Structure 1
Amino acid sequence: MTTILFFSIGSTQHLGVGIIIGSPTGFTGKATFTQRSAVAVNIGWSLGDNPKLYLTGDYQFLFPTVLRWTDDMTGEQREIENLLPYIGIGGRFKFKEDEAQHETILNLGLRLGGGVEYLISRFGIFLELYPVVNIYPGTDFDLEGGLGARIYF
């Protein structure tokens, strides 16, 4: 079993910053509090016809040793090392310009999804997918996610 080296910064064990490409495309940050809990935030933009500013925040439940199996030949316990699946719940603020009325529209949504992060020394590469239920100004459904990388301090 491989152990991951954690750096102590305040009450966090791990603090990472990086980039995400997808919906949204921008910057990402993650603070890991224990081996099983973290908070991730993203700030980014959509690259479509109507540019939008996204702010997201999620509490993540981490599952560091969920991918285990027993080798049939040797009977040994095996696991995929440094692969960290997670489930997250959080919220999203999306600001977009209404060019017809010359005003900014705020959309609020609830996010529930997950992903997986692969840790290599001080670096993490992640892939995530979050369905979003928009609750303001109207009820609607979106799908967000992306591929990203972080460096941990």
Structure 2
Amino acid sequence: MLKYALGFFVLAHFFYNHHDFFNICLKYSAWIFIMKKLICLIALLFSTTQVMAEGNNGAGIVFGDPSGITFQHKINAQQFTDFYFAYTWDKEWVFIGDYKFHLPNLFQGSVPVVPYAGIGLFFKIEDKKHDDDVALGARIPLGIDWRIPNSPIVLFGELVPALRLIKSTDGDFQAGLGGRFFF
């Protein structure tokens, strides 16, 4: 009996003095759990086939300046609207709305890329000095869509010259790479 009590005391002492080690292990196991779920989600997204009917709405993410979430609605085969809710490197929250149109005959090649151009507006809430200034401006997005064959996933890249109109007149340049899942 003394052997079990001594073993319990040693184990309790180890847990008490090394609780940081066990917290790290618990955090690591939670990270593994999240990564397993993320890998399953990615595998599910990429395993979709052509049998799945592609819809007119797409949602995804964009990385760049600004980075955030994106939503696209196809009006028809050539025209669509894009909306972004993002955050910039300059600590600004941005809401963007664009009207865009595909230019399918601009590039001729074997890679299924389709260039696009458009016009849009952005609304920024600037939080540089914690005074919540706002800005409004116009933008001209120029980009390329690449539809992954037999998949509802579209990857895109765009370069956007922009002009801030309200608060101050200032030129800006935005760029991003992203992807959308259409449903």
TM range (shorter): 0.7 to 0.9
**CA contact under 8 A between 1:95 and 1:105: conserved in structure 2?**
yes
Q: Structure 1: state its 5+ residue gaps.
A: 9-13, 69-78
User: Size of the alignment, in residue pairs?
Assistant: 130
Name whichever structure is richer in helix by fraction.
Answer: 2
The normalised TM-score by structure 1 is 0.78
Give the % identical residues: 29
1:44-82 CA-to-partner distances (Å, cap 9, x unmatched) read 11134xx110111110011234322xxxxxxxxxx3353
Structure 1 runs of 4+ aligned residues shifted over 2 Å read 5-8, 79-82
Out of 57, 70, 76, the position equivalent to 1:28 is 70
Name whichever structure is richer in strand by fraction.
Answer: 1
Out of 123, 126, 132, the position equivalent to 1:104 is 132
Whole-angstrom CA distance in 2 between matches of 1:130 and 1:104:
24
**CA contact under 8 A between 1:26 and 1:42: conserved in structure 2?**
yes
Matches within 5 A, 1:3-152: 7-8=54-55, 14-48=56-90, 51-68=91-108, 79-99=109-129, 102-120=130-148, 121-152=151-182
Across the aligned residues of Structure 1 and Structure 2, the Cα RMSD in angstroms comes to: 1.7
Deviation at 1:41, TM superposition (A): 0.8
Q: Structure 2: state its 5+ residue gaps.
A: 1-51
**CA contact under 8 A between 1:132 and 1:143: conserved in structure 2?**
yes
The normalised TM-score by structure 2 is 0.66
Whole-angstrom CA distance in 1 between matches of 2:53 and 2:78:
13
- Higher Cα Rg, which structure: 2
**CA contact under 8 A between 2:85 and 2:96: conserved in structure 1?**
yes
Match of 1:74 in 2: none
